[in-house]
Amino acid sequence: MPYLLRDLLPTDETNGTWAEARSITFDYCGRSLSSHFQPIFSVAHRRAIGYEGLIRSTHSDGTPESPAQLLSLPANGTELLRLDRLCRALHVANFTRQLPDNTWLFVNLNSQCLISEQPDIGFTRALLEAHDLPPQRLVIEVIENEVQDPALLGRFIDHFRRLGCLIAIDDFGAGHSNFDRIWQLEPDIVKLDRSLIQRAAVDARVERILARIVSLLHEAGSLVIVEGVENEREARVAIGADADMVQGFYFARPAPDIGHHTDSWDRFDKLMGAPLPHHGIYASRLREGPRALQLLLESAVSQFHSHGDFATSSAPLFSDARTVRAFLLDDRGNQIGPSIYGPIDRLRRTERFTPLACGEHANWSHKDYHYRALQQPGKMHISEPYLSVADGSMCITVSQALTRKGRTTVYCCDLGWCEPGYTGKAGWKQTAQGAALM
């Protein structure tokens, strides 16, 4: 077990009785270090799906110290690595004491000291085992432009990915960030730098660029978090740009205790109650799909209109191996009941995206497959390929609005999608596991 980890495990010699403490603090160079957690909200689910661990440093007289001042204390790379590990261990220990269900813990990794010191990469595994935290609950945040040797950084990231952790690129869009690193590192999540949402909220040109950045990141296979959202205008711009998740003072401030944030539901309802910026950007061209699939959906919609049994009407859709899931939305975009999955997709679904898997009570009004279907009831609509927040994989959504007993419903079916390498073409593809969209 790494030496530092022994220092951070509950023992009779540690400060206070760890087993009884509500939260853990640690003495470092005459300062008391503690954890604060800032929630990260899913736009569609309207709830916190993760928490970023943030270090807080306080002098003995109670005077706070900024993180930048704290990180300037280590005299060399070895000491900086020790402090970096100490911060991560504190966050894991305090998070697991509260352990909210099906949420991620986001922790920052000082990638530069990883490169300079090339430490034992078993520390994170030992830390997770010591606190019984499943690796798929941990999101490792790295700042890609800190590192001059992307190949070496890539090897460390591969280790964390093999361990089961998710990878997030932090502060993308600041400094010399570039998309080359996104292609090389293939992060699960990209966090956009605060400067982007600040400028997009006051500059229509930057607002349009932000939407295209989010679209490109989705095409690359990454979910997107807009961080630093501080007011309603910025929140609307982030949602209008099709961000998957948001973080910032407008939604919640960092705190040592992980709260329930009961007001988030109403806040997102308010945000989505008015037209969002640039919905037209995401209006997709209607694709002509195979006739057999269209007939399946037409039959499913007709059956649902006749008897109102969604499970029965959607069952034949899964005879087509491309079908991933089916779900219903009301006229406001709220999902009605849970999604229905086919047998193939139930086998391939991964625990890594469990915090986002449950679609029940989610709101999808910002998605084109909802508002386009409402614009032309009775007509089938097929979206452009996009990254599904439900499982982190590419799909397209086929949807149709109908009215039954005076109630408008949007019937939706997600189909798996894959890109054919470098040809730049799209179409249908047959795979070893079954048919998929290509």
Is residue 294 located within the same domain as residue 275? no
Range of the domain at 314: 283-437
CATH of the domain at 319: 3.30.450.20
| Whole-number average pLDDT of the chain | 82
Q: What is the mean pLDDT of residues 48-68?
A: 93
Is residue 206 located within the same domain as residue 302? no
Answer yes or no: is pLDDT of 19 > 60: no
Sign of CA dihedral 136, 140, 141, 143: negative
Helices and strands: H and E segment counts in the chain: 16, 18
Answer yes or no: is pLDDT of 274 > 70: no
Q: What is the mean pLDDT of residues 395-409?
A: 93
- Of residues 66 and 283, the one with the higher pLDDT is 66
Is residue 233 located within the same domain as residue 212? yes
Is residue 225 located within the same domain as residue 215? yes
Look at residues 359, 296, 299 and name the one whose alpha carbon lies nearest to residue 329.
Answer: 359
Q: What is the mean pLDDT of residues 51-64?
A: 93
Q: Where are the beta strands (DSSP E) in 299-393?
A: 323-330, 335-341, 381-382, 386-387
Is residue 78 located within the same domain as residue 177? yes
Q: What is the mean pLDDT of residues 330-346?
A: 84
Is residue 213 located within the same domain as residue 274? yes
Point out the domain boundary residue: 281, 309, 339: 281
Is residue 75 located within the same domain as residue 201? yes
Total number of domains constituting the chain: 2
Is residue 271 located within the same domain as residue 323? no
Taking the C-alpha atoms of residue 76 and residue 148, their distance in angstroms, rounded to an integer, is 18
Note the pLDDT of residue 4: 44
Point out the domain boundary residue: 281, 296, 323: 281
Q: What is the mean pLDDT of residues 238-242?
A: 94
Is residue 275 located within the same domain as residue 289? no
pTM for this model (two decimals): 0.78
Q: Where are the beta strands (DSSP E) in 154-250?
A: 166-172, 189-192, 223-227, 245-247
Q: What is the mean pLDDT of residues 232-248?
A: 95
Answer yes or no: is pLDDT of 262 > 80: no
Note the pLDDT of residue 425: 30
Asked if 251 and 346 touch (Cβ cutoff 8 Å), the reply is no
Is residue 51 located within the same domain as residue 190? yes
Point out the domain boundary residue: 281, 303, 320: 281
CATH of the domain at 16: 3.20.20.450
Note the pLDDT of residue 3: 34
Q: What is the mean pLDDT of residues 366-382?
A: 93
Is residue 202 located within the same domain as residue 64? yes
Is residue 263 located within the same domain as residue 308? no
Answer yes or no: is pLDDT of 424 > 60: no
Percentage of the chain exceeding pLDDT 70:
80
Asked if 54 and 35 touch (Cβ cutoff 8 Å), the reply is yes
Note the pLDDT of residue 146: 65
Q: What is the per-residue pLDDT across 124-183, written as a single tens digit (0 to 9) for each?
A: 899 999 999 999 999 999 987 666 677 777 888 888 999 999 999 999 987 666 788 888
Based on the number of CB atoms within 10 Å of its own CB, is 282 exposed (0-12), middle (13-18) or buried (19 or more)?
A: buried
